Structure 1
Amino acid sequence: MASSAPPPPPSLPLSTPVPAGSEPAAAPALRVFLSRLNDSVRRSLSDRRPWSELADRSTFSRPESFSEATSRLRKNLAYFRVNYAAVIAVVLAVSLVTNPFSLLVLLSLLVAWCLLYLFRPSDPPLVLFGRTFTDRETLGGLVLLSVLVIFLTSVGSVIVSALVAGAGIVAAHGAFRVPEDLFLDEQEPGSATGLLSFLGGAASSAASAAVPVRV
């Protein structure tokens, strides 16, 4: 009697290797953006002047003419630029905190920008309501949504009022503070420093990190 052949061994499940460039790029892009933002904030804060110089009452006097006031303001802006930016930021933050609706709307816009454009990988494309949107259409829609939300609600008035109030405080301080004791540092023309310098580099780095590499 012929013996039957033994059954074949059970096959093991094989995992398909994932290509090197197909991992989600949102997390790396977010890390690059936050790292650049943190570095820019640290550099900006290192350039701030002592607040005791800003609030020294012995250096205040009324300007004799409008030209003297503008000259003082120009020198004080160059010297206290980081401190003045902090003052405007504090005024804006207080205005938003005292208007919870405006703060909630701005946070919602920020989340929409982060999820739909800044940290979203370009592949696969964005699909909403059964329609596929390109990156240009997504950017245009977010810009239009931001303009409508900010200028058709109370958010725009809150932001404009806070910026005007902060600019008024800065202008009054710069015009009444005598800048003779200030030593202005020479700065290379065209060099971008401060909190705004990270925008271009961070945006390009986030975009390059969000694009998957295909071999």
Structure 2
Amino acid sequence: MASPATPVLPITSTKSAGAAADAPVNEVQPPLRAFISKASDSLRHSLSQRRPWAELLDRTAFSKPENLSEATFRIRKNFSYFRVNYYAIGALALAVSLLTNPISLVILFGLLAAWVFLYFFRPADQPLVLFGRIFTDFETLVLLCGLTLCVVFLTSVGSVLVSSAMVGVAFVCVHGALRMPEDMFMEAQDNSKPNGYVSFVRGAAAVNAAIVATATSPAPSR
């Protein structure tokens, strides 16, 4: 008499299930870390496009403008050429102003933290709850805007920001008006002109075309 067949039990792999469960968790990146990574990449890319500081401070390129229109023209051209350098100088002026006013620095960091954690990176399914009241996204935005206006106009943060911005604008205007921008476009003009070999080839091609046209043209009837 044949013995009954042994039932086959299903076998599950806990390793593969755990790996499948852990995969989405590892792939998801925290919003704050993603924001910091993207901001650092953008900052690194912007700084790579700056002009050499020796070119910015070249004393031989400074001269007094003849009139106001020439000064305006120089400022516009220099700002287009040294844009990243000017932004870096403005950021340095802002950093020095905040470091010399630690109270303003603490208040500004607190304001930025409020915007980051209460609005930008707050989960959409978790509304803001303060004093037992639920605030919508629009109400949170209005609350943060009102807090920002109060911080800027009722504390020393506003004066620090305005003073640093005035220092940056003054440097840009003075440097841009005194810096001659003519040498900045020599390289572009040289690149736009064909070199000797290209001009020689073009001239030879034009001469050959003229000879062929003359040879193939019918002789004038007498």
Q: What TM-score, normalized by structure 1, do the two folds share?
A: 0.72
Alignment of 1:63-212 (within 5 A): 63-183=65-185
Q: Distance in 2 between matches of 1:123 and 1:88?
A: 39
Shift of 1:56: 0.4
Unaligned stretches of 5+ residues in structure 1? 1-22, 186-215
Q: Which moved more, 1:36-45 or 1:102-111?
A: 36-45
Q: Distance in 1 between matches of 2:69 and 2:155?
A: 39
Corresponding position of 2:38:
36
Shift of 1:35: 2.1
Q: Distance in 2 between matches of 1:123 and 1:27?
A: 18
Shift of 1:177: 0.3
Shift of 1:120: 1.1
Q: Equivalent residue of 2:134, what SS?
A: strand
Unaligned stretches of 5+ residues in structure 2? 1-24, 189-222
* Alignment root-mean-square deviation, CA: 2.0
Alignment of 1:14-53 (within 5 A): 28-53=30-55
Q: Distance in 2 between matches of 1:155 and 1:98?
A: 12
Q: Distance in 2 between matches of 1:127 and 1:75?
A: 51
CA contact (8 A) 1:27 1:119 kept: no
Q: Equivalent residue of 1:127, what SS?
A: strand
The structure with more helix, counted as a fraction of residues: 2
CA contact (8 A) 1:60 1:177 kept: yes
- Residue identity opposite 1:37 in structure 2: A
Q: What TM-score, normalized by structure 2, do the two folds share?
A: 0.70
Shift of 1:69: 0.4
Shift of 1:27: 6.2
